[in-house]
Structure 1
Amino acid sequence: MTRGDEHDDGRGTAADTDPGAEGNKGNKGNERGGQGDGETRGTVLIALVANLVIALAKVAGGLIASSPALLSEAAHSVADSLNEVFLLASLSRSRRRADARHPFGYGKERFFWSMLAAVGIFVTGGCFSFYQGLHTLLNPEAEETGGYLIVYVVLAVSLLAEGASLVRATVQVRGQAKQAGRGVVAQLRRGDDPTVRTVFAEDAAAVLGVLLALAGAGLHQWTGQPAWEAGAALSIAVLLMYVAYRLGRDAKDRLVGQAVDPVLQQRALEVLTERPEIDTVTRLLTMQLGPDSALLAARMDLVDGLDSSGVERLCVELRQRIRSVCPDFDQVFLDITAADEDERRRATERRRRLRETVERQTADGG
């Protein structure tokens, strides 16, 4: 076999592919990812500029008007601005080529920086908003808002800017969903690119936060009760903490080593089982390595009668076919082994569960 492959009368391990093919695949993956990164970088830059301008306006307006809701929104925008810087860093760092220390590449940098963005949303935005709301609730006499016109103007401008950024992020999510053949909601749940998902979540939370701040300021002015603005600040804190939790949980799953989408697993399994030389695929293990990079390791039992050269030829053809049908699998490892009846039974059960999962996803729109 090629580079480091071992076999023993057809019962051994077939791993990886030849260096030239791997290099070509990596170049194609970088080219494909680079094109998508250009659009993503534009989306992040638009969000960054919008959040920087809005943050300055909210800080100035909140201090002048002594509005706790507006100051909470200012903390929200500051957090979002820092997060956009994190996300821009992830775009360049995740595209570095694999090396001896990181043989599977740097794709998981995206998930690491997305985790930092989630922490930033929680600490800078959520915790400050919670403090601001609680302080206002406990000291209502010290938090008399003045200059409501300033508050309304700043929030209205913020709503327009955040809305424009959200539209841009939504357009990109729709494009990715169409390319993946799934709905927008399914793309947000299962999409491979955490950067766009993070920007979309930040912008959606920002729009909701501005609406909450407007409602709190309006009710405060109407009733004369600062508790309304305190409630708006606390609501913004809860919103930001929830968004941070969801983004952080997703990033954690990817960093730990999450399997690829079940639909992609099913396609790879079909490629393997369609070959008559394969008797049983006992295990199919996958892991997401980056937005457009994944690992596949399959353990297979072959039919009797194949010699060593036949096994080599089969493995080469299978790797080429997998990468043709599922180009995200740029790391493919095939393990040839004998399977007993218990392993066959478990393999059949795993295939059934995978098929049911794919059917549920299809029924849910992707």
Structure 2
Amino acid sequence: MSASGSKAVIYAALGANLGIAVTKFAAAAWTGSSAMFSEAVHSLVDTANQGLLLLGLRRAARPADAGHPFGHGMEVYFWAFVVALLIFALGGAVSIWQGWHKLFEPEAIHDPWINFAVLAAAIAMEGYSFRVALKELRAGDPDSPILSAIRSSKDPNVFAVLCEDAAALAGLAIALLGIGLAYALDAPVFDALASIAIGVLLVLVALFLARETLSLITGEAASPETREDVGRILREDPRIASVQEVLTMHLGPREVLLAASLDLRDELGGDEIERAVRELTDRIEAAHPEITRVFLRPARRRGEAGGEQPIVA
């Protein structure tokens, strides 16, 4: 998944949600529907979220400096975590409060056809945004089930938008059902219940996103396939007696730090060790361009009182 692909996903969602939010607020004010108001809040929060994700991309692209020698790539994870909190606090909580309030002060829905027309248009626009996000997710993991692909993805800009759009489509279906029942049965309570259900849905999505982004913020490793392939490259080199440790950590969606502890052959001299490190580094980076920092450390040999200094590449 490329940075340009992530931006395309965010811009598609931003345009769709901004237009939908304005339309939903107008429909909610005209018809008095609680579920439509909750949906409008949902779309407004999603619009703000896309703005925060774009801010995260911009700040993460800043070059490394003395204070951040590995760059600012991990900042994109922080802003994705903020997005999860906003969905929880503003989207979920406000929708639940609105629905709870309307349970005790029910209000009849006027001109329900307006709600149905708006919701139908919103489904079309959210469906387009969802398709763009799903295509980008599948570009990086075409074979795994969607949930597994989301959990293995290291780009929160893609999976956050995908989860938001999935929640939006589910919320729209709930709103359609609630408004339809409220109108058909002349029972505004169904409209209020739909609002509460939308809020609960948003809270669950927010908790899922918070869990996934928290894992990335705290230093998530590269995929098992990447770690295994790096280990294979190191083990196959005849100058390596054994590979004692391979550690990886994502510094951003497309930046990985690699640190490995190697037991080099005893007969290697200093120049040969340096050559081995350079060649292994080139081989690893060619096979995995996302690995941008490589630290190779000779393991302590038996009988040595202290370890050797790390060899950095």
Normalised TM-score (structure 2): 0.92
CA contact (8 A) 1:282 1:339 kept: no
Q: 2:15 matched to which residue of 1?
A: 49
Q: 2:261 matched to which residue of 1?
A: 299
Q: 1:144 matched to which residue of 2?
A: 108
CA contact (8 A) 2:244 2:299 kept: no
Separation in structure 1 between the aligned mates of residue 95 and residue 202 of structure 2, nearest angstrom: 9
1:255 alignment partner, one of 217, 223, 247: 217
1:203 alignment partner, one of 128, 147, 165: 165
Q: 1:157 matched to which residue of 2?
A: 121
Could you give the per-residue CA deviations for residues 127-168 of structure 1, whole angstroms, max 9, x where no partner exists? 11110111122333xx22222111111111111111111122
SS at match of 1:192: coil
Code of the aligned partner of 2:299: T
Q: How many residues align?
A: 302
Separation in structure 1 between the aligned mates of residue 283 and residue 139 of structure 2, nearest angstrom: 27
Would you say 1:245 and 2:207 are equivalent positions? yes
Separation in structure 2 between the aligned mates of residue 339 and residue 115 of structure 1, nearest angstrom: 44
Q: Report the alpha carbon displacement of residue 184 of structure 1 after superposing the two structures with TM.
A: 4.4
Q: 1:175 matched to which residue of 2?
A: 139
2:280 alignment partner, one of 294, 311, 318: 318
Normalised TM-score (structure 1): 0.79
Separation in structure 2 between the aligned mates of residue 37 and residue 294 of structure 1, nearest angstrom: 15
Q: 2:185 matched to which residue of 1?
A: 223
Separation in structure 1 between the aligned mates of residue 215 and residue 259 of structure 2, nearest angstrom: 19
In the alignment, structure 2 segments of 5+ residues that lack a partner are 303-313
Bigger RCO of structures 1 and 2 (CA < 8 A, at least 6 apart): 1
Q: Report the alpha carbon displacement of residue 43 of structure 1 after superposing the two structures with TM.
A: 2.2
CA contact (8 A) 1:267 1:326 kept: no
Q: CA RMSD in A?
A: 1.6
Separation in structure 1 between the aligned mates of residue 18 and residue 68 of structure 2, nearest angstrom: 35
1:110 alignment partner, one of 62, 71, 76: 76
Code of the aligned partner of 1:193: D
Code of the aligned partner of 1:74: A
Code of the aligned partner of 1:93: R
Code of the aligned partner of 2:152: R
Q: Report the alpha carbon displacement of residue 304 of structure 1 after superposing the two structures with TM.
A: 2.1
In the alignment, structure 1 segments of 5+ residues that lack a partner are 1-32, 341-366
Could you give the per-residue CA deviations for residues 157-210 of structure 1, whole angstroms, max 9, x where no partner exists? 1111111111222222222224xx655443222112110111111111111111
SS at match of 1:335: strand
Relative distance call for 1:215 and 1:98 in structure 2 (3 A) is same
Moved over 6 A (4+): none
Would you say 1:127 and 2:93 are equivalent positions? yes
Q: Report the alpha carbon displacement of residue 52 of structure 1 after superposing the two structures with TM.
A: 1.0
Code of the aligned partner of 2:141: A
Separation in structure 2 between the aligned mates of residue 124 and residue 172 of structure 1, nearest angstrom: 27
2:156 alignment partner, one of 190, 194, 199: 194
Code of the aligned partner of 1:157: A
